Chains A and B, each alone.
Chain A
Amino acid sequence: MKQFADSTNATFSDLTETATLCPYCGVGCALNYGSDSEGVIHYAKGRDGASNAGRLCVKGRYGFDYAAHPQRLTRPLIRRDDAYPRGPLSTFSRANSSGPRKPGGIVDYAEVLPHFREATWEEALERAASGLAKVRDTHGAHALAGFGSAKGSNEEAYLFQKFIRTVLGTNNVDHCTRLCHASSVYALIEGIGSGAVTNVVRDVENAEVAVIAGCNPTANHPVAASFMKQAAAKGTGLLAVNVRRPGMASYCEQYCQITPGSDVAFYNAVMHVIIAEDLHDQAFIDQRTEGFEALAKAVKPYTPEAAEAMTGVPAAQITAFARRLGQAQSAMFFWGMGISQHVFGTDNARCLIALALLTGNIGRPGTGLHPLRGQNNVQGASDAGLVPMYYPGYQAVSDASVRERFEQLWNVSLPEQPGLTTAEITHAALEGEIRGLYCMGENPFLSDPDMNQVRKALSSLDCLVVQDLFITETAEFADVILPASAFMEKRGTFTNTDRRVQIGRPVRQPPGQARQDWHILRDLAQRLGHDWDYADESAVFDEFVQAAPLYANLTYDRLGEHGRWYPCPDANSEGERVLFGDQFPIGRGRFVPAELGQAPDLPDDDYPLVLNTGRQLEHWHTGVMTRRSRALDALAPEARVEVHPSDAKRLGITDGSWTTLRSRRGAVEVQAHITRDVALGTLFLPMHFREAAANLLTTPELDPFGKIPQFKICAVALAPLSTPLTPPQPDAVSHAAG
C-alpha cells in the first residue's frame, strides 16, 4: 500500500518573504520576493497591491535574476589611458554593425573590459568629481548635463536633480520621460494643469467604454491589461485605435487600424461626428471648459469621409466609434507611445484631452485621462523634478518666485537659464556645447534616436561618468563607471502610473563594492563642497515632500506596505483615485485644437516602408535588465522585424529568414516575423536588441513642445539577406567614433 511521503523542502523553510514591488513597468505591481540568507531570490509572488491585486506578468514573475547576473559590476572602473580617444568598444556598438547575436552576452565584456581598470572608490569618485568640475570650470556649468533614470526611486531622482542643479549649477537634467510621455505631459499641463493621470487603471471596471489609443497594454502593461480585459468581459466596451494591431484588439468592440501619423485626423473626425450629432456634453463644456468654439471650428472640415482618406479607416467605422463614445455615460482614455512618440505627439495628446472634455469624461468614476506610464518610476521621477523645466512638484524653473523658494530650501543660488532636454543634450554635445555628462541608470546610446549621431555625441564629450549595474553600451564611452545598486538592493519610494506611491524594500546587498546610488550622489556632492547629510532614504523623501506640496501628507510610516495615492488630502486618506471632480488646477479645461501634421522622413521609392518601433512583452527598454534574466532571455532571445504577409511575399521574405532593414541613417540585419498585426506597408521592430538596434534607423526630429523624438515613423527599405554577416572579431578595435 502506498504511503504518504511528506516531502517538505528544508531549504524552503529558510526563505524570507519581503514585501516589495516589481522593478519593471509603471503599473507598479506589489510582490513578495522569497530570498535566502545569501540574497538569492527564489521566487516572486504577487501581493495584494492597489494596482495588481496579486497579479504579475512574465517580467515581474520571472525577470528578477538580473541583479545576480555574473556581469554585475563589483568595483569602480576607470578608462585606461590607452583607451582614448573615446569611442565604442564592443562590436555591436561600432558603426552599423548588426547581425546574429553572439551567444551569452549583452555587451561583450571580453571586448570591453580590457579597456578599463579597477579602481578604489576614492579614486573613482575623485576622478568623477574632478572631471565634472573641470568641465564646469572650463566651459561653464551649462556645458554639463545629467541623465537620471525613471528606474530609480523618488529619492534618487530627487537627489540627482538636486545634484545637477545645486552642485553642478545647471538645469540640464532630464530622463527617459522625454522619450516616452513628454508630449502627453505637455498637453495635459496645458489642457488641465496636471501631467499625471486623472484616474487609476482599475477604474476601467466602472467605465462604459474605454479608448485604448496608440498603446499595447498586453505587452507593455500586462497586468493593467488584465483589468481592461476583465472589464471588457463584464461589459465595458473597449475601443482600440492603433497602426499595429494590439493584443487587446481581440477583446475590443472595435479596433480601428489607422495609417501611421493620422491620429489627429481620426480624433478630429470623431469629434466632428460627436458635435454634428449633438453627442457632446454641453453642460460640462459650459461649466468646466473654455475654447469650445475654436475646437468646433477646427474639427468641422474633418468629416468622416475626409478622414477616411487620411486615416484609411472607413467613414462608417469612424462614425460608429464616435457614436459609441458619444453615447456612453462614462469613458476612460488610455494612451501610450503611439500617441506621444511623434513630432506631433503633443497634438495627438491634445486631441484625446479635447475628446474627454467634449464628452464630459473627466472627474467621475469610470472616466478620465490615463497616459500609461512606461517605467516603474517615470511618474515619480518627473514629480521629483528630474526634468529641465520643473523643480520637484512641477514648479516652473522659469518662475522667479519659485526659484527663490528653492534657493532658500536648498541654501544655494540656482541657475536661471532653462535646461536642455534629453535629445537636445545630445544635439548640443554634437555642437560642442555640452562637454560633460553624468549618466545614472540611463543608456542613451541604445534608447535615443539616430544612434550614429548619439555615438558621435558621446565620443565627443570631455567627461562621461556612468553609474549603473552593468557595462552598458553607453558605459563603453565612459571615463569612470560607478557600480550601483539594483532595485532589489535598495529602499525607496516609487510612484506608479496611477499616482500610487509605494515603498520598495531591499532583499539583498549590492554585490562586491557596488553601492547605493544615493550614497554615491551624496559623496560626490560632499566632494564638490556641498554639505549633504541625510539619515536615510525616508529623510530624503521628507525633504522631497517639503519641496513638492503635491506629495503632502505622505511619509514612509504612512505609506507602509500598501502605499497611497497622491494627492493625499490628509494623513488618514488613502489618497485620491479620481481627480478633478469639481475643477481643474488651471480652473477651466482648455480645448487646444490640432491640425493634421506631416511627419518627417516619410517613405519614397528608395525607402518605401514605414517602420514603427516599440517594446515587446518579455523585454524592457535597452535590455540591460531583461536580457540578463535567464527566463526572459530564453523566452525571447532575438529581435524580429514584423512584416505583413503581402509585403513579405512581394519581397521574397519568409518567416524567420534574415533581412536587411535600411533607413536613411543606418541599417540592421534582422530576422523576419510574418504577421497580420502590422498593416500593409508598415513594419515593427522592437527597441531592445543591440544587435538589431532600432535606433540605428530612427530619425532625430523632435516634437516642438514635448521635445520627444519621432520613434514611431521612419522610412525604411527591407530586403532579403541570403547569409547574415558575422560580426567582426574584437581584435580590430578602434576607439574612434564611427
Chain B
Amino acid sequence: MSDVTLTIDGRRVTVPEGTTIWDAAQTLGIDIPVLCHDPRLDPVGVCRVCAVDVGERTLPAACVRAVSPDMEVRTDTQEIMAHRRVLTELLLADQPAVSQREQTTGDDKLYALAREVKVTDIPWPDQSERQPRGQDASSPVIAVDHQACIMCDRCVRACDDIQHNDVITRTGKGYSARIAFDLDVPMGESSCVSCGECVAVCPTGALTHQSLATTDAG
C-alpha cells in the first residue's frame, strides 16, 4: 500500500493510503473532537462533530473519510466551529438535567464537548417533553436512559462487533429511533450477558452502571 501526502490545517503529513483524516490528524497531534467514534470500533460517522472542510459541497466526517493525495483539510474554520457548536447544542437540548455518567464514571463526552465549545444557552427546543424517550431499569447492573442517548451507535458496535453478544440494535426511525435489546424487550429480559461493554463505550448517561450500592442482594 502506498503513502498519501496531504495538508491538515496547513501542516503536511504523509500517511498510508486508506488512513482516515481523523487518524492522520492524530499523527499531527490535532485532536478532532468526536462523539460517535472510538478507535476500537469501525467508524460510522453519524455524530458529525468531526466534520471537516476538504473543499467539497458538504463537510465529510473525518473519522470515516479516507485521505487522498494533496487533500487540503481544515479542521478549525469558523464555519466548522459553528456547526460543531450547533450539533452539540442539538444533542444537549434533549439531555436530562443531570448526566448520570458524570455521576458514575465522570466521563460524559457530550458534556466535555459542550465545555470545549463553550455552550451556554441552547436555542433549540427541548423535545423531551413532547416525545419523552424513556428509561429502562430492568437490568441489575446497567441503567438505560434513552433520553440521554445520542444514537452514536457505539453500544451497538461494542455489543455486536466487539463482544459479539449480538443483543443491541437501533430500532425505529428518525427522531423516534433509539436503541433496543433483542426484539425490543427490557434489557433485563433480553439475552444480554451484562458484559458492560456498551456502558464502557457509551459517551453519555444513556448507558451507565447501576449503583452497586443500591442493588438489592436479595
Closest 9 pairs (CB-CB, A-B): A12-B106, A229-B164, A61-B196, A634-B140, A58-B194, A4-B119, A2-B122, A7-B98, A226-B163
Chain B residues, CB < 8 A from A1: 121-123
Residues of chain B from 198 to 218 with CB closer than 8 A to chain A in the complex: 199-200, 209-210, 212, 215-218
| A617: interface (CB < 8 Å) | yes
Residues of chain B from 134 to 183 with CB closer than 8 A to chain A in the complex: 140-141, 161-165
Chain B residues, CB < 8 A from A630: 212, 215-217
Chain A residues, CB < 8 A from B98: 5, 7
Q: Within the complex, what minimum Cβ distance (angstroms) separates A642 from chain B? A: 16
Chain B residues, CB < 8 A from A229: 163-164
Beyond A4-B114, A5-B97, A630-B215, is A58–B141 a contact (Cβ under 8 Å)? yes
Q: Within the complex, what minimum Cβ distance (angstroms) separates B60 from chain A? A: 27
Beyond contacts A55-B162, A218-B193, A226-B164: 8 other A-B pairs, Cβ-Cβ < 8 A, are A3-B121, A4-B121, A13-B106, A42-B104, A46-B200, A58-B196, A61-B141, A631-B141
| B11: interface (CB < 8 Å) | no
Q: Within the complex, what minimum Cβ distance (angstroms) separates A311 from chain B? A: 29
Residues of chain B from 49 to 93 with CB closer than 8 A to chain A in the complex: 92-93
Q: Is the CB of A34 within 8 A of B105?
A: yes
Q: Within the complex, what minimum Cβ distance (angstroms) separates A156 from chain B? A: 28
Chosen A-B contacts, 23 in total, with CB atoms closer than 8 Å, are: A1-B122, A2-B92, A2-B122, A4-B114, A7-B97, A9-B102, A12-B104, A12-B106, A42-B104, A43-B104, A45-B105, A55-B163, A58-B195, A61-B141, A62-B209, A62-B212, A104-B217, A226-B165, A229-B163, A230-B161, A230-B164, A617-B193, A635-B140
Select one of A8, A43, A54 contacting B209, CB under 8 A. Answer: A43
Which residue in chain B gives the minimum CB-CB distance to A34? B105
Give the CA-CA distance A8 to B110 in the complex, in Å.
12
Chain A residues, CB < 8 A from B212: 62, 65, 630-631
Binary B-proximity of A626-639 (CB < 8 A = 1, otherwise 0): 00001101110100
Q: Is the CB of B120 within 8 A of A54?
A: no
| A652: interface (CB < 8 Å) | no
Give the CA-CA distance A104 to B216 in the complex, in Å.
10
Q: Is the CB of A7 within 8 A of B111?
A: yes
Q: Within the complex, what minimum Cβ distance (angstroms) separates A251 from chain B? A: 7
Q: Is the CB of B111 within 8 A of A56?
A: no
Residue count of chain A within 8 Å CB distance of chain B: 44
| B115: interface (CB < 8 Å) | yes
Q: Is the CB of B102 within 8 A of A12?
A: yes
Residue among B93, B98, B106 with most chain A CB within 10 A: B106
Q: Is the CB of A222 within 8 A of B119?
A: no
Chain B residues, CB < 8 A from A3: 120-122
Beyond A1-B123, A4-B122, A634-B217, is A54–B40 a contact (Cβ under 8 Å)? yes
Chain B residues, CB < 8 A from A631: 140-141, 194, 210, 212, 215
Q: Is the CB of B163 within 8 A of A251?
A: no
Chain A residues, CB < 8 A from B114: 4, 6
| B103: interface (CB < 8 Å) | yes
Give the CA-CA distance A45 to B210 in the complex, in Å.
15
Beyond A2-B126, A43-B104, is A8–B140 a contact (Cβ under 8 Å)? no
Chain B residues, CB < 8 A from A65: 212
Q: Is the CB of A226 within 8 A of B193?
A: no
Binary B-proximity of A491-527 (CB < 8 A = 1, otherwise 0): 0000000000000000000000000000000000000
Chain B residues, CB < 8 A from A251: 164
Q: Is the CB of B106 within 8 A of A6?
A: no
Select one of B200, B216, B217 contacting A56, CB under 8 A. Answer: B200
| B190: interface (CB < 8 Å) | no
Give the CA-CA distance A12 to B106 in the complex, in Å.
6
Q: Within the complex, what minimum Cβ distance (angstroms) separates A106 from chain B? A: 11
Chain B residues, CB < 8 A from A222: 163, 193, 195
Give the CA-CA distance A630 to B215 in the complex, in Å.
7
Residues of chain A from 20 to 42 with CB closer than 8 A to chain B in the complex: 34, 42
Beyond A4-B119, A46-B200, A226-B164, is A58–B193 a contact (Cβ under 8 Å)? yes
Give the CA-CA distance A594 to B159 in the complex, in Å.
42
Give the CA-CA distance A564 to B112 in the complex, in Å.
36
Interface residues of chain B, those whose CB is within 8 Å of chain A, are 40, 92-93, 97-99, 102-106, 111, 114-115, 119-123, 126, 140-141, 161-165, 193-197, 199-200, 209-210, 212, 215-218
| A53: interface (CB < 8 Å) | yes
Beyond A104-B217, A226-B163, A230-B164, is A56–B141 a contact (Cβ under 8 Å)? no
| A233: interface (CB < 8 Å) | yes
Give the CA-CA distance A57 to B199 in the complex, in Å.
12
Q: Is the CB of A9 within 8 A of B103?
A: yes
Chain A residues, CB < 8 A from B216: 630, 634
Chain B residues, CB < 8 A from A103: 218
Give the CA-CA distance A15 to B140 in the complex, in Å.
24
Q: Within the complex, what minimum Cβ distance (angstroms) separates A35 from chain B? A: 13
Q: Within the complex, what minimum Cβ distance (angstroms) separates B45 from chain A? A: 21
Select one of A45, A56, A230 contacting B195, CB under 8 A. Answer: A56
Give the CA-CA distance A9 to B104 in the complex, in Å.
8
Residue among A58, A251, A634 with most chain B CB within 10 A: A634
Chain A residues, CB < 8 A from B105: 12, 34, 42-43, 45
Chain A residues, CB < 8 A from B215: 630-631, 634
Chain B residues, CB < 8 A from A232: 164
Select one of A7, A13, A53, A633 contacting B99, CB under 8 A. Answer: A7
Give the CA-CA distance A637 to B140 in the complex, in Å.
12
Q: Within the complex, what minimum Cβ distance (angstroms) separates B59 from chain A? A: 24
Residues of chain A from 202 to 243 with CB closer than 8 A to chain B in the complex: 218, 222, 226, 229-230, 232-233
Q: Within the complex, what minimum Cβ distance (angstroms) separates A225 from chain B? A: 8
Which residue in chain B gives the minimum CB-CB distance to A5? B97
Give the CA-CA distance A4 to B98 in the complex, in Å.
10
Q: Is the CB of B123 within 8 A of A56?
A: no
Give the CA-CA distance A248 to B103 in the complex, in Å.
36
Chain A residues, CB < 8 A from B123: 1
Chain B residues, CB < 8 A from A54: 40, 200
Give the CA-CA distance A617 to B191 in the complex, in Å.
13
Which residue in chain B gives the minimum CB-CB distance to A64? B212
Give the CA-CA distance A222 to B196 in the complex, in Å.
12
Which residue in chain B gives the minimum CB-CB distance to A68? B212
Give the CA-CA distance A23 to B114 in the complex, in Å.
37
Q: Is the CB of A62 within 8 A of B196?
A: yes
Which residue in chain B gives the minimum CB-CB distance to A12? B106
Residue among B92, B105, B123, B212 with most chain A CB within 10 A: B212
Q: Within the complex, what minimum Cβ distance (angstroms) separates B165 from chain A? A: 8
Q: Is the CB of B40 within 8 A of A53?
A: yes
Q: Within the complex, what minimum Cβ distance (angstroms) separates B177 from chain A? A: 22
Q: Is the CB of B218 within 8 A of A633?
A: yes
Chain B residues, CB < 8 A from A637: 218
Q: Is the CB of B122 within 8 A of A56?
A: no
Give the CA-CA distance A514 to B95 in the complex, in Å.
46
Residue among B97, B126, B141 with most chain A CB within 10 A: B141
